[in-house]
Structure 1
Amino acid sequence: MSQTVQIESTARDFDFWMGSWEVGNRRLRRRLAGSDDWEEFEATVVARPLLDGLGNEDEFRTDHDGGFVGMSFRFFDPELRRWSIYWADSRRPGELDPPVFGRFSGDVGVFEGEDIHRGRPILVRFTWSGVTTSTPRWEQAFSDDGGRTWETNWVMDFRRPGGE
């Protein structure tokens, strides 16, 4: 018997994400600079549904580098069958980053959008993987050459508190 693989996004794609998480972070200290100097730190996340399941939010907290709080907002468009994801944090209060857009295929979701990094236009990619496991992963990558090459600059590995 073959296993059915989801090939279209639905409003339930982020159901795995709801609740509390501990986060192992690995982040490049300098992005798009040819650096391979990574920093590692811990954080926590709490995720909640919004809009009767058509969206969700999470709050990211860390004491690293003086501490900061971040929030992601995700909204599902049932007509386009795609997600938009927005980020804001306490280091730049009053601003939402431009959205990334995308969908899931199986247990991998890829979301891309345009942004500015150090005054120049870039593409941003978020990749969610392992979402059907107890240890999902999120990765962020930037491209400054129109998507020909990508530099992964932040990786988050998630686990439930106390090994739930």
Structure 2
Amino acid sequence: MAAGQVGQAGFRDGRRDFDFLNGVWTVHHRRLRRRLAGDTDWETFEGTCAALPILGDVGNLDDNLLHLPDGSYRAITIRVFDPASQLWSIWWLDARRIAMDAPVHGRFDGGIGTFFGEDVLAGQPIRVRFTWSDITRQSARWAQAFSADGGASWETNWEMEFRRAR
């Protein structure tokens, strides 16, 4: 069975789910200035993303340059697929504080990737959700949401629109 195909028992190997991201992208960012604070003030900025496969195609890595209004910085995303659990694990490493965020875990279903994790914001535990959607060869959409109530309600606080540069 080829990767990404559905087998006789409904088994779907998702190790190629992030192949769409390989390459170079321009990225339009939109994020809330303050998270889980009732804020409705969004800031927008531009960036780039260059992604490549790693670990024999069971992972990928992307290098990001983000041009925030108060200065630019770099970050990387590391994604690794576990064939046994059929789950992706995703980590974000931000050069401004040289720390790896807690991972999110999930998979793609029906063309939408949904990933959940646990983290801390301002000393309080939160749930984190990443979603990948609207994926084509030339574009994709990513969104991040936080929940302070165990996932009963969500606040989307960061959105990225990807456009393929090459």
Common fold: TM-score over 0.5:
yes
CA deviation map 1:10-39 (0-9, x unaligned): 110000000000000000000000000000
2:56 is paired with a residue of what secondary structure?
helix
Asked if residue 91 in structure 1 is aligned to residue 96 in structure 2, the reply is yes
Q: CA shift at 1:9, angstroms?
A: 5.2
Contact 1:128 1:139 in 2 (8 A): yes
Which piece of structure 1 moves more, 54-63 or 12-21?
54-63
Which piece of structure 1 moves more, 124-133 or 24-33?
124-133
The TM-score normalised by the length of structure 1 is 0.91
Indicate the RMSD between aligned Cα atoms, in angstroms.
1.5
CA deviation map 1:98-142 (0-9, x unaligned): 100000002100000000000000000000001235221000000
Alpha-carbon distance between aligned partners in 2 of 1:52 and 1:99, rounded to the nearest angstrom: 21
Q: CA shift at 1:62, angstroms?
A: 2.1
AA partner of residue 66 (structure 1): G
Alignment of 1:8-23 (within 5 A): 8=12, 10-23=14-27
Alignment of 1:78-157 (within 5 A): 78-93=83-98, 95-132=99-136, 134-157=138-161
Alpha-carbon distance between aligned partners in 2 of 1:9 and 1:151, rounded to the nearest angstrom: 31
Q: CA shift at 1:46, angstroms?
A: 0.1
Query: Which residue does the alignment assign to 2:40?
Result: 36
Asked if residue 54 in structure 1 is aligned to residue 58 in structure 2, the reply is yes
Alpha-carbon distance between aligned partners in 1 of 2:120 and 2:67, rounded to the nearest angstrom: 26
Consecutive aligned runs of 4 or more in structure 1 exceeding 6 Å deviation: none
The TM-score normalised by the length of structure 2 is 0.90
